[in-house]
Amino acid sequence: MLIRWLLFVLLLIAPAAWAGQTILVFGDSLSANYGIAAEAGWVSLLQQRLDRKPHDYRVVNASISGETTAGGASRIRAALGTHKPDIVIIELGANDGLRGLSLDATRQNLDRIMQACRNHKARILLIGMRLPPNYGPTYAESFTAIYPALAKKHRAALLPFLLDGIADRREWFQADNLHPTEAAQATIMENVWARLQPLL
């Protein structure tokens, strides 16, 4: 009798299982609120947008500042198992490019991440990045080309450039000239929203 009573109490106090759908943001510092308050970042703004719409979605931010595609590939399975997302927004690769890492390795790592998401039956939004011109046209163009090629291979939605409309506005970047300020976050969110909305 005591055991039945304890089970009844546990059922009362246990949080209800999430019945809606989950969007997993899997990125680097551009999504991890680097240098700004978490509630001001584009991921939080995305959740606010969803809350105003007739959607039953929650956004989980699994982004890590400094993350490379290799790091992402090593932890994607655990993230998928933990959060069980219906949609995964992949925003990785910038740190690979800025460090001049192997483009073949970057491509293979992103491919592994996307394949894991497909195996999980999650819809994918792949977010592309671009490199500054001082990296040389051959490397920079080859880097940019990774994203549409993988989006086509995995039949994923693609946002070609996260910082579209932002990259040429110096006042929208922090002192390091790499990370957008709070003022830029709404534009970033709108960029993402335009490509995410058809997946909802």
The answer to whether residue 179 is catalytic is: yes
Let me know: does 101 contact 142? Beta carbons within 8 Å: no
In the structure encoding, which two tokens stand for residue 27, read together?
């990125």
Helix (H) or strand (E) holding 190: helix 185-196
Amino acid occupying residue 157: A
State how far the Cα of 129 lies from the Cα of 143, in Å rounded to an integer: 8
Query: Which residue in 29, 31, 44, 63 is the catalytic one?
Result: 29
Helix (H, G, I), strand (E, B) or coil at 160: coil
Short-list 81, 55, 70, CA closest to 196:
55
DSSP 49-110: HHHTTT--EEEEE---TT--HHHHHHHHHHHHHHH--SEEEEE--HHHHHTT--HHHHHHHH
Residues 6+ away with beta carbon under 8 Å from 152: none
The answer to whether residue 74 is catalytic is: no
* Most distant pair of Cα atoms in the chain: their distance: 74
The answer to whether residue 176 is catalytic is: yes
Catalytic residues: 29, 176, 179
